[in-house]
Chains A and B, each alone.
Chain A
Amino acid sequence: MSRTVTIEPVTRIEGHARITLQLGDQGEVQDARFHLTQFRGFEKFCEGRPYREMPALTARTCGICPVSHVLASNKACDHLLSVTIPPTAEKLRRIINLAQITQSHALSFFHLSSPDLLLGWDSDPATRNIFGVMRQDPALARDGIRLRQIGQTIIETLGGKKIHPTWVVPGGVAEALTPEKREAMLKMLPEGLEIAKRTYAFFKTLVPKFKDEASHFGTQDTLFLSLVSPEGNLEHYDGFLRVKDARGHLLEDMVPTWEYERLVGEAVEDFSYMKFPYYKPMGYPQGVYRVGPLARLNNANSCGTPYADVALAEFHMLQESGPIASSFHYHYARLVEIIYALEMMERLLKDPEILDTRVRARARSNRDEGIGVSEAPRGTLMHHYKIDDDGLVTWVNLIIATGHNNLAMNMAIREVADAYVDGNNLQEGMLNRVEAVIRCYDPCLSCASHAFGEMPLVIELKDSAGLVVDRLSRG
């Protein structure tokens, strides 16, 4: 009797989703699918809006990484204006982006995933959450809260609001930095770096414990896509596209971001509101690739800040050679990036140019098509707009970080399900591992639901006629 196991909602991820596992006669996994169940339709309803509204509007795709959308959107607008923004404005934009990477990675690691890592995948689901972590290891929970707070406070200091700030504008930023604000931010960074280093050291002690999970959590061959700096180093704001294969060969390098359509195609499957981007030259679905912290570290020659480069060298030792394959190590990569972000923010804030008051280029629209690409915490984010002569938007496409990982996430849940799920003896912990692999990717389904949607966990066993024969719910 073939059966379907549904995990709904997938919890401790951002957004709404469902996982279905199709089981065969012997209880073996035959198919695994990750469904996004929310859809909003930004591509359509942005139509007719003045392009200057786009940053504030598209920020509402996501409350975790609104700054990423604000940046990609403003970069698309800079492109429409045909301006190069003042150097200080670029540095300030970089700082707010790094602050967001810090807070978003902290959220992913501490609030969402640390319950699995600390309390265990098979622990009681009633306490397997950040509040359970507060009881078990209050110091770690406080570190997580504080680190996220530091990121959020820097965003607020620069942008005026922690969530959905409007300070970044087409052509630059709305206001120059004051010395007082610079001091206030610089004061917080050493504490943040201490927390990040402490957490990184602690996580390294956990890695050997999770060897088994690491060898099954999304280890299949994929390509890696990310931005890199002109020197080929870690980059989150600008730069060029790089694609590496699973063996570490460069397939694409120094591709200008406005040529993204040559690299990335999008397909639709009938079971998800999330589209399936693929690497065009290889076709679908062979052109599966991963983005985000793991891809960025695999693609970068170096980080360019002292402590992060030490950590990057250690990251590469997780495997004998080649790009790090296991998606479990997204967690590792995230911690390295937090260290990098804190070091880099300090460097940028100490730059004498950072207080320069020329922070905005003013122009009308000078082009009818604009493309903005940046690295969101979860991966490469692409905003593409077309406008008419009045500056009203006629066409929009957004390719979201989480979307790029869609094919890879579907492959990963299949791999984990094959390794851990026994259809004849279902246990909650097995299914939590299937969810946990998704947490490695830290999907942002609000983002993904700009066009796609929702994640929940009720497991239903259905017979081939679709009748529910058994039901296991987490509660």
Chain B
Amino acid sequence: MTDNPVSATPVSDKKITVATAWLDGCSGCHMSFLDMDERLVDLAQKLDIVYSPLVDTKVLPDQVDVGILEGSISNEADLHHAQEFRKHCKLLISLGDCAVTGNVPAMRNPFKLEAVLNRAFRETVDLQPQIPTVGLPALFRQVRPIHGCVEVDVFVPGCPPHADAIFYVLSELLEGRTPDPNKVTRFGA
């Protein structure tokens, strides 16, 4: 075809690709994403969720426009995820207080990791007290926010950030602008 309508459409009409993952969080930030409700239907016209706990793709594509991470970095798998996102996503967003500050997961930092594990798996159980390790990612002694391990481009605080704040960030990106989330959300929001 000589007159390809796709190439004729403006750049801004091209769907942007979005990947999301939850690291050490409570999934509340992803739920706030879903709280965009019917706006999701319209958004789905403009962006493609190519990798996320909400879809079945198991491997992060090589090139993604926007990566969104919820949660902090508490174990080897979290770190691996964050590094993969940084490598493959043009823009990386830290979504929510756990990603931005460490928040609740980081509350274990003042304690020795052994003490935390012992309490959960030896001191509060009735049978077979032991620390699980088989096929499980090793825990770090210190929980870190995302930017403690990889560079982050946009920080969206809140526990969780309101759906309107998430919508604002995505809309700005779709318009080709850099969002300023501090206008619409804050820590602990």
Contacts and interface: CB of A to CB of B under 8 A. Distances in A.
A266 B30 CA distance: 30
B119 interface: yes
A12 B53 contact: yes
Contacts of A12: 53-56
Nearest to B56: A125
Nearest to A397: B124
A111 B126 CA distance: 37
A475 B120 contact: no
Interface residues of B, number: 60
Interface of B: 22, 24-32, 34-35, 37-38, 40-41, 44, 49, 53-59, 61, 74-75, 77, 103-105, 107-108, 110-111, 115-117, 119-121, 123-130, 132-137, 139, 159-160, 163
Contact of A38 (B24, B110, B115, B117): B24
A394 to B, nearest CB: 11
Contact of B41 (A45, A134, A148, A452): A134
Contacts of B103: 60
B56 A131 contact: no
B188 to A, nearest CB: 10
A93 B80 CA distance: 41
A162 B32 contact: yes
A112 B55 CA distance: 9
Contacts, number: 208
A18 B111 CA distance: 28
Contacts of A129: 49, 54-56
Interface of A: 8-9, 11-16, 18, 20, 33, 35, 37-41, 43-45, 47, 57, 60-64, 66, 107, 111-112, 115, 125-126, 128-131, 134, 138, 141-142, 145-146, 148-149, 152, 162-164, 265-273, 275, 278, 280, 284, 397, 432, 446, 451-454, 456-458, 473-475
B40 to A, nearest CB: 7
A60 B107 CA distance: 12
Contacts of A126: 56-57
Nearest to A163: B28
A266 B126 CA distance: 5
B125 A152 contact: no
A317 B133 CA distance: 44
B119 A446 contact: no
22 contacts: A11-B56, A12-B54, A39-B120, A40-B104, A41-B116, A43-B116, A43-B120, A44-B108, A47-B119, A63-B26, A63-B32, A129-B56, A163-B31, A265-B127, A266-B127, A271-B132, A271-B136, A275-B121, A397-B124, A473-B58, A474-B58, A475-B58
Contact of A41 (B56, B58, B119, B136): B119
